[in-house]
Amino acid sequence: MTSLLRAYGPLECGEDGYPLAWHSIDGGPGIKHLVRATAGHRCVRCRHPYTKGAGEWSPCDEQCSHGGPIHKVGDGYGDPPTYDPVGTAGRLVAWGNTIEAQWRILTVHHLTGEKADCRWWNLAALCQRCHLQIQGRVQMGRVWPWEHSEWFQPYVAGWYAWTYLGEDLTRDQVVRRMDELLALERIA
């Protein structure tokens, strides 16, 4: 898989701007499928699990840390979905409820916005809702002197290694050097 996670040239990309290997590799799973699998088929930000074919509503589990439109299944009252601003879906499941979240289909987001750049630190498995939030806020080239979210730290540290040091590190190498790499933004 690591040989697939690289920057692609224009001749290696289709008309949609994605590398030919994005959708499928010799008829098998493509890069986007491998990224989702590496993330355990769940959003790396809110931890919502991906259920293929679930559609608009998909089941939450105890790892879910998101809020948003959710509803309790099987309560018999037909309550409409509620908007949970504090992210209690996982706690509600832990308390024995069956909870579903709206529009949490798993996508793969290019953090730099460059479709041809498929290095691991540029590809985050995000549900639709997290994808839209991150896409509108994260700009990898913007100096960010504050603490990054825990889920985002490996990605931005990998980007810092590439941008400031010219080093294309594996995720394991980045994790081992996390403090050093995150400090690059504070001193650059």
Residues 183 and 145 grouped into a single domain: yes
Residues 110 and 46 grouped into a single domain: yes
Residues 77 and 157 grouped into a single domain: no
Domain holding 174, by residue range, is 140-188
Residues 167 and 83 grouped into a single domain: no
73-81: average pLDDT: 62
pLDDT in tens, 84-109: 777 788 988 998 889 999 999 999 99
Residues 124 and 134 grouped into a single domain: yes
The pLDDT assigned to 87 comes to 76
The pLDDT assigned to 131 comes to 95
Q: Percent of the chain having pLDDT more than 90?
A: 64
Determine the Cα angle at 166 with ends 161 and 167, to 5°: 60
Q: How far is the CA of 96 from the CAs of 12, 62, 101, in angstroms?
A: 49, 10, 16
Residues 94 and 176 grouped into a single domain: no
Report whether 93 contacts 61 (CB < 8 A): yes
Sign of the Cα pseudo-torsion (178, 183, 184, 186, in order): positive
Number of domain units in the chain: 3
The pLDDT assigned to 2 comes to 61
112-120: average pLDDT: 96
**If pLDDT is split at 50, 70 and 90, which confidence band does 186 have?**
confident
Residues 34 and 67 grouped into a single domain: no
Residues 22 and 114 grouped into a single domain: yes
pLDDT of 112 higher than 60: yes
Residues 115 and 39 grouped into a single domain: yes
135-140: average pLDDT: 88
Residues 145 and 182 grouped into a single domain: yes
Tokens 């941008």: give the residue: 163
Residues 82 and 46 grouped into a single domain: no
Residues 23 and 43 grouped into a single domain: yes
Report whether 123 contacts 154 (CB < 8 A): no
- Of 20-29, 37-46, 95-104, 176-185, minimum mean pLDDT range: 20-29
Structure tokens that stand for 158 in this block: 């990998």
pLDDT in tens, 29-39: 899 999 999 99
Report whether 159 contacts 123 (CB < 8 A): no
Cα separation of 104 and 54, whole Å? 9
**If pLDDT is split at 50, 70 and 90, which confidence band does 188 have?**
very low
In 3D space, the residue among 24, 41, 21, 33 whose CA is nearest the CA of residue 115 turns out to be 21
